[in-house]
Structures are given as structure tokens and as C-alpha cells.
Structure 1
């Protein structure tokens, strides 16, 4: 049997987990993930990505110390993001163009955050 047709061309899960203040791993929500997820949903709608793209909240994705974190399926690519500009770049480069935003990608075995960079800074 073959797999069914995809319901969404891209399905984005944004961690909005909130741990108690001072937790050793932190939490995506404490780093602004809910506000940024809301922005991503609105921006995807503005770009006309619906109904082929779905932006969802997720509980803990177990990467909060690297977050805010999100994962995009069906590719299974993980990102960290901090700003609306990061969200814009992920939507345009990954979702629309099918490429990757390497400076924001999280490696499967990554346990420490990358140094902060901006879109115009060399990675």
C-alpha cells in the first residue's frame, strides 16, 4: 500500500511549551514562541499559503534549550528563531522556495544553541 496524499504541503509545529520560571532547560514560551507563532500564522495567511500550509502550536518538542524551536514536515527540518524576520525568512526560503535557512537550522544531535546571528551577518 502506498502512503496517502499529503493533507498539507508543509505542516509547521511551533513549540509553545511553558516551564516554570528558572527551569534549567528554559522554555520556548518564555522566549516568545507564542507571539512569534501567532505572527507566523498571520504572515502565512497574508502570503496566501493557506490552505496548503498549516501552522500549529505544539507541546514540548524536547528542544526548549535551543528554542524557540519549530519543525516543518514532511521534511522534518528543525529550526530555532527569535524574530519576525527569522519567521519571514523561514516562510519564504523553506516553505515557499523549498530551500533551507541554514543559519537557523538545528542539527539532530545539537545540544547547545548556536551563537546569535542576523540575516545579514555571516554565519
Structure 2
């Protein structure tokens, strides 16, 4: 038996976890992930990605120090993002054109943001 066709071409999980203020690891919500997720959903609709791409909230993705973070499946590419401009670049480059936004991509073993990733 073969796998069924995917329901969505891509699935984006945006961490919106919130920890108490002052928590040593921080949290994506404390860095604005909820507003950025809402912006991403609205922009995806404007770009005609409805039905092709699903953008969801996620609980803790366990990369809090790098947040806000998101992961895009089926590729499993992780991003940090800090502004609507970052969201626009990810939508256009990754989800519309199939490329990658290398400056915002997170490495598997990365523990801190690189200078070009800081928001």
C-alpha cells in the first residue's frame, strides 16, 4: 500500500509557548511569536497559500533560546524569525519558491543566535 497524498504541501509549526517572565530560557511568546504567527497566517492567505500550506501554533519546540522558532514540514527546516520582514522572506523563499532562507535557518546543534539572526 502506498501513502496517501499529503493533505497540505507544507505544514508550519510556530512555537507560541509562554513561560513566566524572567525564566532563564525565555520563551517564544515573550519574543512576539503570537503576533508574528498571526501575521504569517494573514500573509499566507493573501499569497493564495490557503489549502496548500497550514500554519499552526505549537507548544514548546525546545529551542527557546533561539526564539521565536518555527519548523516547516515535510522538509523539517527550522527557522528563527523576529519581524514581519523575516516572515515575508520565509513565505516567499521557502513556501512559494521552494528555496531556503539560509540566514534564518537553525542548525541542529545550534545553541545561540548568530549575529545575522538576532532581532
TM-score (norm. length: structure 1): 0.92
Q: Bigger shift: 62-71 or 109-118?
A: 109-118
Offset from partner CA, 1:10-51 (integer Å, 9 cap, x none): 100000000011111100000000000000000000001001
Residue of structure 1 equivalent to 2:17: 17
> Which residues in structure 2 correspond to 1:1-123 (within 5 Å)?
1-117=1-117
Change (3 A) 1:31 1:38: same
Deviation at 1:112, TM superposition (A): 1.1
Aligned residues: 118
What value does the CA root-mean-square deviation take over the aligned residues? Answer: 1.2
Distance 1:62 1:2 in 2: 33
Offset from partner CA, 1:42-83 (integer Å, 9 cap, x none): 000000100111000000000111010000000000000000
Deviation at 1:117, TM superposition (A): 5.0
Distance 1:87 1:66 in 2: 16
TM-score (norm. length: structure 2): 0.95
Q: CA contact under 8 A between 2:15 and 2:29: conserved in structure 1? A: yes
Any runs of at least 4 consecutive aligned residues in structure 1 with deviations exceeding 6 A, and if so which? none
Distance 2:41 2:51 in 1: 12
